[in-house]
Structures are given as structure tokens and as C-alpha cells.
Chain A
Amino acid sequence: GNSVTQMEGPVTLSEEAFLTINCTYTATGYPSLFWYVQYPGEGLQLLLKATKADDKGSNKGFEATYRKETTSFHLEKGSVQVSDSAVYFCALGLRANDYKLSFGAGTTVTVRA
């Protein structure tokens, strides 16, 4: 089946530190890949996406590259801020499945000043 595995949290960092959240996937076919972010007390919102191999999604200083050879879509940010404290979800969608998304378990990130 289709599934997403992301690194377990929680992750605690200091401001300006480098953040990486690992995400790997299993899918039949060629999925589109997404990162969603959930700030405290809010619903999820799309952070970035990539629709084919070697695509790089980027937004708000975050980046992720669709790596078909390693079935990965790791999220990175070079210098985090306190405002980046949130829960991050990796997700995949497949055309054959009408793009209904399969989500990872989520990674809680806390950035300390």
C-alpha cells in the first residue's frame, strides 16, 4: 500500500539552528509529495510540494527535494526561528487514488530562543 514514514519527534532546536525532518515513502506509481505544517491551535496548511522526481519545493525558507532513487522527501531549513515551532506532516498523493493524501505521523518541532 501507500504510506509515509517520517522521523519521530519531538525535535527541539535553538534559534538559527539547521533543521532536517526525514520523510520516506512507499507508493505504487509516481506520487506527488507534500509537506504540511500545523501551527499551535490551527489546522494544517500546505508548506510546499513537488510533483515529479528531482523537483524541489520551497517556501518560507524551507526546502524539500523529491528523490525517487531513495524514495525520500526530506524537509530542511537552514536557520530556524521561534515562529517555526509547529507540527510538520509529510504526505503523498497518487493520481490513481484521486490524489487522496496519505499522511505521516507528524513531527513536533520546538525552537527555543
Chain B
Amino acid sequence: DVKVTQSSRYLVKRTGEKVFLECVQDMDHENMFWYRQDPGLGLRLIYFSYDVKMKEKGDIPEGYSVSREKKERFSLILESTSTNQTSMYLCASSSGSGNSPLHFGNGTRLTVT
């Protein structure tokens, strides 16, 4: 079974702090994604990566950046958190072939106070 592991389950940060959300997958998947999940809005794509050191903006990249130095690891960076970034963050991975399913981590619930 594919395993996607997110480093933290719950995080509480103060406004203006820097946050790193780490995600590791163990199936040698080419593609990795960061989504945020908010009630009534579903999942919205923040950033994705199709290869090491490659990144592309999703639908809501403002206020976020990412890093992919190794194939198995994809990090989401919030340089200076704000209260509107309070959300559930989900990492996902998939193989390179089109239409392959996404495999999700269990999510990180970030609260910014």
C-alpha cells in the first residue's frame, strides 16, 4: 500500500510565524500535491510538482511556497502565517501515468491565532 505521511497532525501557530509542513511518500511517485480543505469549499490546489526541483502553482498559491529537493519529499512553506491560513492541509501523490489515483496523507490541521 502507498503511504503518504504528513509530519504533523495538529499545529497551532501565531500570526507572522513561519511554518513548514512536511510530506513524504514511499512509492516512488513522480507527482506530489498540496491541497487545503475548508468546509463548503472542498479541496483547493495550492502547489504541485511533477519532478524533483520542479513546482507549479495551483489555484491558490498566494502566501505559500514549496520545496521538492528529493523525489519522496514535498514541503509546503508558509513564510508568514495569517489567520486566513487556518485550515486542513492535505498532501497527495500519484504515479506519472495520466488518470492514476491520488493517494492522500491524513492531513495537518493548522490553526493560526
Q: Contact residues of A with B, CB < 8 Å?
A: 4, 32, 34, 36, 41-46, 49, 51, 89, 93, 95, 98-101, 103-106
Contact = CB atoms under 8 A, between A and B. Distances in A.
Contacts of B4: 43
Interface string B80-106: 000000000010100000111111111
A34 B42 contact: no
B106 A103 contact: no
Interface residues of B, number: 24
Contacts of B107: 42-43
- Top-10 shortest CB links A-B: A43-B104, A46-B101, A103-B43, A105-B42, A103-B42, A44-B104, A43-B106, A99-B98, A43-B105, A106-B42
B41 A44 contact: no
B34 interface: no
Contacts of B42: 4, 89, 103-106
Contact of A49 (B40, B45, B92, B101): B101
B58 interface: yes
Contact of A99 (B58, B99, B106): B99
B48 interface: yes
A3 to B, nearest CB: 10
B102 A95 contact: no
A45 B104 contact: yes
Contacts of A4: 42
Contact of B101 (A34, A42, A95, A100): A34
Nearest to B90: A43
25 contacts: A32-B99, A36-B102, A42-B106, A43-B4, A43-B104, A43-B106, A43-B107, A44-B43, A44-B104, A45-B104, A46-B102, A51-B99, A89-B42, A93-B99, A95-B99, A98-B98, A100-B45, A100-B48, A100-B58, A101-B45, A101-B102, A103-B35, A103-B42, A105-B41, A105-B42
